[in-house]
Amino acid sequence: MSTATAEDRSWWGWGTTAGELSKEESDALVARTAAVLPGHDFTDHAPPGPDDLDVAPPRVTPPDVLAALCSDIPVDRLSHARGKAFRDIVRNLLGRLDHIPDLVARPRTEQDVVDLLDWCSTARIPLIPYGGGSSVVGGVEPRFDGPAVSMDLGGLDDVLEVDRTSRAARIQAGIHGPALEDRLRPMGLTLRHFPQSFAHSTLGGWLATRAGGHFATLATHIDDLTESLRVVTPAGISESRRLPGSGAGPSPDRMFLGSEGTLGVITEAWMRLQDRPVWQVTASVAFERQDDAVAATRAIAQSGLYPSNCRLLDPAEAFINAGASVGGGLLLVAFESADHPVDAWLDRALELATAFHGTVKTKRSKDSARQDGDSSSAWRSSFLRMPYQRDALARRSLIVETFETACTWDDFEDFHHAVTEAARVAIDEVCGGAGVVTCRFTHVYPDGVAPYYGIYAAGRWGSTVGQWDEIKAAVSEAIAGHGGTITHHHAVGRDHRPWYDRQRPDPFAVALSAAKTALDPAGILNPGVLIR
Amino acid sequence: MSTATAEDRSWWGWGTTAGELSKEESDALVARTAAVLPGHDFTDHAPPGPDDLDVAPPRVTPPDVLAALCSDIPVDRLSHARGKAFRDIVRNLLGRLDHIPDLVARPRTEQDVVDLLDWCSTARIPLIPYGGGSSVVGGVEPRFDGPAVSMDLGGLDDVLEVDRTSRAARIQAGIHGPALEDRLRPMGLTLRHFPQSFAHSTLGGWLATRAGGHFATLATHIDDLTESLRVVTPAGISESRRLPGSGAGPSPDRMFLGSEGTLGVITEAWMRLQDRPVWQVTASVAFERQDDAVAATRAIAQSGLYPSNCRLLDPAEAFINAGASVGGGLLLVAFESADHPVDAWLDRALELATAFHGTVKTKRSKDSARQDGDSSSAWRSSFLRMPYQRDALARRSLIVETFETACTWDDFEDFHHAVTEAARVAIDEVCGGAGVVTCRFTHVYPDGVAPYYGIYAAGRWGSTVGQWDEIKAAVSEAIAGHGGTITHHHAVGRDHRPWYDRQRPDPFAVALSAAKTALDPAGILNPGVLIR
């Protein structure tokens, strides 16, 4: 994999134009979907060409010294206008140009970042830090009146230092996942942070949104891989020390992690790396009953074994994305290590699973797992293609989206029931009942779980954004009302704001708001996200 | 173990009066120390009786409705005047009453906490939240002019709810370690957070100071055991949701963790628990060379095996506290689990250690380890007695203190050299060279280590506080100047402020200060700690 160039990028959809589904793939997908949603109108609505859209001229002009960093080319502005949520894609397909940044600024150095912030602060122009633009929560969209500058950090994409002894590297925030791994691979190192957006998102984006990665346990979030941060704020540059652990006051890094561009622009980070895994074992376990599947997963999560993968797919998810037919669920469990064989770890996990009436379907070591067409690898390839499939279905008036959250184990059964019921009722009301709700666990913890819901519903062309909004609101209400988090790893952005505001303790909101005013007195940084 | 009652507590020294060294223990300790520091004057200076001290009358009077919660009894006020650092103990021994709180307030309910905060905010009286009072960094001392109230949370000491499924409990902040474990034991659960101060510190204190516990790896700090927090601030009560993981904005809990009483009073927390370990294996490994010992420890820290204990003692530490004679270091390594035998884990760790020329000295499973007088168990008992030994030596004009920090692996050799050199030079200058510097690793991380230094030096009675301050400053300068943290798990308090202020990024200081002003507009909460 290599980083997409600006030319490769799809202006309207996920990832690259090259990544879009082929005709054969689309046809097969439509056929599979039609089997579940018969009677739906699958007419394909192709995206408009960016040149056909009437993009208004920019409302701001950069000072001469910054002009070379700024682009007002329409396709640049269009491709930075929003992220890659379903509602973003559909609005692109419809040619709806609600909010377009006036300029795309591309700093080449940290000083450029400082200078751009200075200009925008002085001129009071909202500035939105932009990494890979893969936000699915409205994180990069200037959803407000008046001008805006999108600051694309893609030019700050170097690995500046590698400390092999401590297994850490100083990395610029604008680097994309594949370019980063390409730089680390020759040294036998890896960040091992693989969100679904890996190819189309950046280190800075992961940090600013507290992204969730590859690991099902332990370092599930980028937070725990962070050794120190360097952040340009309007009030100065913040740089924390490289420390493996510290108890010196509240963690400075934890204030910037998840700040979604509201407090400053992350330019560099020292990240904790790992040796590339040598041993890997993986297995899939089928369950007849959902409660057994959940209990087995919980037992593994609480065992202290720390699997690298521990995904429980519900029957619909297992069928659609792993080609497996199960009554209660399919658990994909894996262990890996750069230091030692992990067969004993997997064996104990499978003992726990079978104690809850699981049936081991496949069990493979690394090499064979990659070759065989088993459920794990089928699911893995499907996983990376999902956003492209979503785009193909969005063009055909389907509503395809995901909702992710986390809750404690004791509450899971009620929680899950409430969320899936809310989704089903909303699909009923909004789409006349034509829809499917799926669930998988993406991350597991000793004290709880991160369930990830998928919704496939038959929409009406021209109305799917509104339909999506209604379903989203209904599910979000259920999540918020039953004690879950409005996001486990997709961030808050603008789409999750109403529920985030309820979830966040009021005194913390007051404190965060005061911190923002202190760091960003002009209030230019990503307004509308998190605070104000 | 049970919680110390107010009567048991030593007003001047560590822990309880019952815990003080017996005459035989003191004599043996003096004999051992005299062997290392010949010529020192070991005259014992007993503490004054609290009634012999001339404690000034309180300068504030509580409103009638709060009077029943407030004590102005001199010994109460004395025992809340400071923590348990060497300089605190010696000032107590000398009868130096620099700063005494005017009242000790003991809330019995959260509403009492609210009412006390209201009163102090309105009357602008500084209020210092007080847990077990075991601070070794000046965290609970009203080191300022004017009146002060010490708010002792010891009355809020209940376990309110236990969620066996998620393995979590809602616990009041004032509970002491032993009482908490007594409550959890019948359910087969444990918090497994065992700082050296365990018996004399509280959950709220651990949370407010980001305490470090038992684990050498993974959840080293209380931060990671925290599911949600409830905090009374002058701006309202902050309660976060119970979540196993979340990506919704910067973590609210991480702002209060480590806030050391400056932002609010923690009253409750949902804490992540564990099943009580069933399998435990432990070993000790001797090294001839320090660089081998460090490399072996690093290999284990980076192996993904996650030992529960991984303490490397340098030769002086091994000799003084584990009775072992080694040339390069003694590594104590242990694994434990409630789910599965961990012999395979230990075997792999020992393979790594022997690859770096370590010699396995002892290897035991749980039961035998507890019985045998091996180095691990010798060190363990010594560990819990250390603060009492320190007090016995402080009475005899010795300077006995610890400094703890953390740094990355690549930098360890230079760092360690700089810190030990600074300590030795300071001892030379301040104590004429009569002293010993020891080092052990308390926690290890894939990217670095937390070294813990001990200093034993021959002081002059009446001058040891000033001598300690000079040595402390010299070592702190070395730590700060070489990129370490001024504290890995002892907190900042008032003693570490000058170096914390340098370590903390300036924009973060600005943000934290703004957050404090928003939450505590009257600025009454533990002034002088962390900010202002």
Q: Which of B218, B242, B270 to mutate to test the interface with A (most CBs of A within 10 A)?
A: B242
Q: What is the ipTM of this complex?
A: 0.96
Pairwise CB contact (< 8 Å): A508 & B410: no
Given this model, what pLDDT does residue B6 score?
55
| Residue count (chain B) | 532
Does B464 score more than 70 pLDDT? yes
CA distance B120 to B143: 17
Does A197 score more than 70 pLDDT? yes
With bands split at pLDDT 50, 70 and 90, how would you rate the model's confidence at A320?
A: confident
Given this model, what pLDDT does residue B105 score?
98
pLDDT tens digits, one per residue of A145-195: 999 999 999 999 999 999 999 999 999 999 999 999 999 999 999 999 999
Please check whether residue A451 is in contact with residue A408, taking contact to mean a CB–CB distance below 8 angstroms: no
Sheet holding A226-233, edge to edge: A159-163, A168-172, A265-272, A226-233, A236-239
Q: Is A277 on the interface with B (CB under 8 A)?
A: no
Which residues, other chains included, contact A210 with Cβ-Cβ below 8 Å and sequence gap of 6+?
A221, A222, A223, A257, A258, A489, A491, B247
Residue B356 phi, psi (nearest 5): -100, 30
Please check whether residue B482 is in contact with residue B407, taking contact to mean a CB–CB distance below 8 angstroms: yes
B residues 359-418 lying closer than 8 A (beta carbon) to A: 406-411
Question: Burial level of B238, CB count in 10 A (0-12/13-18/19+)?
Answer: buried
Full DSSP string of B116-177: HHHHHHHHT--EEEESS---SSSSS---SSS--EEEEGGG---EEEEETTTTEEEEETT-BH
| DSSP for residue B73 | -
Question: Burial level of A202, CB count in 10 A (0-12/13-18/19+)?
Answer: buried
Given this model, what pLDDT does residue A97 score?
85
Please check whether residue B329 is in contact with residue B290, taking contact to mean a CB–CB distance below 8 angstroms: yes
Residue A316 phi, psi (nearest 5): -65, -45
Classify A11 as helix, strand or coil: coil
| DSSP for residue A452 | E
Summarize the confidence of residues A316-339 as an average pLDDT.
93
Sheet holding B127-130, edge to edge: B70-71, B103-105, B149-152, B127-130
Strand partners, A265: A232
Classify A251 as helix, strand or coil: coil
Which residues, other chains included, contact B499 with Cβ-Cβ below 8 Å and sequence gap of 6+?
B476, B477, B479, B480, B486
| Residue count (chain A) | 532
Q: Which of B220, B339, B342, B411 to mutate to test the interface with A (most CBs of A within 10 A)?
A: B339
Strands A226-233 and A236-239: antiparallel
Strand partners, A171: A159, A269
pLDDT tens digits, one per residue of A427-443: 999 999 888 999 999 99
Pairwise CB contact (< 8 Å): B408 & A242: yes
Pairwise CB contact (< 8 Å): A221 & B245: yes
Q: What is the pTM of this model?
A: 0.97
Strands A274-275 and A189-190: antiparallel
Does B245 score more than 90 pLDDT? yes
CA distance A310 to B395: 56
Does A3 score more than 70 pLDDT? no
Of A235, A504, A507, the CB nearest to B249: A504
Which residues, other chains included, contact A149 with Cβ-Cβ below 8 Å and sequence gap of 6+?
A60, A70, A101, A102, A103, A104, A105, A116, A120, A125, A126, A127, A128
Which residues, other chains included, contact B270 with Cβ-Cβ below 8 Å and sequence gap of 6+?
B168, B169, B170, B171, B226, B227, B228, B242
Given this model, what pLDDT does residue B381 score?
75
CA distance A18 to A10: 8
Summarize the confidence of residues A488-502 as an average pLDDT.
98
Classify A448 as helix, strand or coil: strand
* HSE value, Cβ hemisphere, 13 Å, CA-based, for A173: 32
Given this model, what pLDDT does residue B232 score?
98
Does A390 score more than 80 pLDDT? yes
pLDDT tens digits, one per residue of B96-124: 988 999 999 999 999 999 999 999 999 99
CA distance A102 to A56: 9
Nearest to A531 by CA among A152, A517, B510, A518: A517
CA distance A282 to A342: 10
A residues 71-110 lying closer than 8 A (beta carbon) to B: none
pLDDT tens digits, one per residue of B18-67: 999 999 999 999 998 998 899 999 999 999 998 889 999 999 999 999 99
Which residues, other chains included, contact B372 with Cβ-Cβ below 8 Å and sequence gap of 6+?
B362, B364
Structure tokens at B301: 């820290």
Q: Is B512 on the interface with A (CB under 8 A)?
A: yes
Classify A117 as helix, strand or coil: helix
Given this model, what pLDDT does residue A4 score?
41
Given this model, what pLDDT does residue A374 score?
59
CA distance A398 to A458: 5
Full DSSP string of B406-417: -EEGGGHHHHHH
Nearest to B418 by CA among B488, B459, B463, B476: B476
With bands split at pLDDT 50, 70 and 90, how would you rate the model's confidence at A8?
A: confident
pLDDT tens digits, one per residue of B71-92: 999 999 999 999 999 999 999 9
Which residues, other chains included, contact A8 with Cβ-Cβ below 8 Å and sequence gap of 6+?
A16, A17, A18
With bands split at pLDDT 50, 70 and 90, how would you rate the model's confidence at B371?
A: very low
What does the mean pLDDT of chain A come to?
Answer: 94
At position A394, the amino acid (one-letter code) is: A
Q: Which residues of B42-56 are buried (b: 16+ CB within 10 A; e: fewer)?
A: beeeebeebeebebe
pLDDT tens digits, one per residue of A334-386: 999 999 999 999 999 999 999 999 999 999 886 544 444 456 667 677 788 89
Q: Is A337 on the interface with B (CB under 8 A)?
A: yes
Distance from the B334 Cα atom to the nearest Cα atom in chain A, whole angstroms: 15
Angle between helices A290-301 and A412-431 (to 10 degrees): 130
With bands split at pLDDT 50, 70 and 90, how would you rate the model's confidence at B442?
A: very high
Nearest-by-CA chain B residue for A405: B246
CA distance B440 to A65: 55
Full DSSP string of A137-200: SSSS---SSS--EEEEGGG---EEEEETTTTEEEEETT-BHHHHHHHHGGGTEE-----TTGGG
Nearest to B380 by CA among B286, B290, B284, B315: B284
Classify A224 as helix, strand or coil: helix
Please check whether residue A423 is in contact with residue A431, taking contact to mean a CB–CB distance below 8 angstroms: no
CA distance B91 to B47: 10
For residue A248, the chain B residues in CB contact (below 8 A) are 258, 485-487, 491-492, 496, 500, 503-504
Given this model, what pLDDT does residue B233 score?
98
Q: Which of A171, A228, A255 to mutate to test the interface with B (most CBs of B within 10 A)?
A: A255
CA distance B248 to B242: 13
Handedness of CA B76, B78, B80, B83 (dihedral sign): negative
A residues 214-253 lying closer than 8 A (beta carbon) to B: 218, 220-221, 227, 231, 233, 235-252
CA distance B305 to A151: 42
What does the mean pLDDT of chain B come to?
Answer: 94
Does A421 score more than 90 pLDDT? yes
CA distance B173 to A294: 32
Full DSSP string of B204-269: HHHHHHT-B-S-SSSS-BGGGGEEEEEEEETTEEEE----S---SSS-HHHHHTT-TTSS-EEEEE
Distance from the A345 Cα atom to the nearest Cα atom in chain B, whole angstroms: 10
